[in-house]
Amino acid sequence: LLNLPFIYLAYKHIRKTFVVHMFIAVVLFAIFLSILENVPAFDGDFLEVIVIGGALLGTGVGFIIKSGGCTDGTEILAIIINRKFGFTVGQIILTINVFIFAVYGWIFKDWHIAVKSLMTYIVAFKMIDIVIAGLDEVKSVLIMTTKPKKIQDLITRKLGLGLTVIPGIGGYSGEDRDILFIIVERLDLAELKNLVLTEDPLAFMAIENLHEVAYGRQISKVSQRKNKQLKKKKKFFKFN
């Protein structure tokens, strides 16, 4: 029940499929938790437990988020903040948990467990950022297709993404052909590719990593949703 507000935020601010992936991740997490329950616990120095446990936790959470899902509300909040302000997902999760552990230590007067938990999440947050490195990066995509109008409509209507149409000429055929240029988050790239290739299996897509996107006076690893807002203000990318 506590996660319901966060699920609503994910539905509104990320995408519908993300919520589906979240439910799948939660179910699989519960299944594997029950399977591994009978596995003997690691018996070692508490620092070894913290490092190994934090690394495994961060790796698991990182792969889940990288695959377009999550397991709890803090991760949803982290992804939303990541898109709006550019902090890494790991940094945001760590910050949220620092607050949680501080409250726990203050209420239960048990700072020993709170500090150990904090140390575990320090390791985990580094692993999360390592695994999902590039989550907040953007990619530029050039799409060459015989159905530019149809694909343009699908991208703007189904994905809610803005794009730029560049007039081009086929080097072999000499025919006029529009080229679609779009800047997209890695999180949305797979969905974009699937949409384009489903509509036109012969479409050609050139995908390039971008370190950052500059617009106006701001420089940020932006989400395409910000580009959509900029489009409303008539701040378009310009090509010569």
> Would you say 90 and 58 are in contact if contact means Cβ atoms under 8 Å apart?
yes
Q: Which residue has the tokens 């617009």?
A: 215
Q: Which has the higher per-residue pLDDT, 56 or 217?
A: 56
User: What integer is the mean pLDDT of 135-149?
Assistant: 83
35-44, 71-80, 187-196: segment of lowest average pLDDT: 35-44
13-17, 123-127, 220-224: segment of lowest average pLDDT: 220-224
Q: Could you tell me the two tokens for 29?
A: 């997490």
Strands 176-185 and 213-215: unpaired
- The confidence band for 16, taking pLDDT boundaries of 50, 70 and 90, is confident
In degrees and rounded to multiples of 5, residue 18 shows phi and psi of -60, -40
For the segment 167-176, what is each residue's pLDDT rounded down to a tens digit?
Answer: 988 777 778 8
Question: Where does the chain hold its CATH 3.30.70.120 domain(s)?
Answer: 138-232
- The confidence band for 136, taking pLDDT boundaries of 50, 70 and 90, is low
0.85 surpassed by pTM: no
Give the CATH fold of the 138-232 domain: Alpha-Beta Plaits (3.30.70)
> Would you say 189 and 139 are in contact if contact means Cβ atoms under 8 Å apart?
yes
For the segment 17-37, what is each residue's pLDDT rounded down to a tens digit?
Answer: 888 888 888 888 889 888 888
For the segment 66-116, what is each residue's pLDDT rounded down to a tens digit?
Answer: 777 788 888 888 888 887 776 778 788 888 889 999 998 899 888 888 898
Nearest to 224 by CA among 179, 187, 194, 196: 187
pLDDT at 64 over 80: yes
> Would you say 231 and 162 are in contact if contact means Cβ atoms under 8 Å apart?
yes
Q: Which residue has the tokens 């159905």?
A: 147
For 2-28, b where at least 16 C-beta lie within 10 A, e where not — what string?
A: ebeebbeebeeebbeebbebbeebbee
- The confidence band for 239, taking pLDDT boundaries of 50, 70 and 90, is very low
In degrees and rounded to multiples of 5, residue 83 shows phi and psi of -70, -35
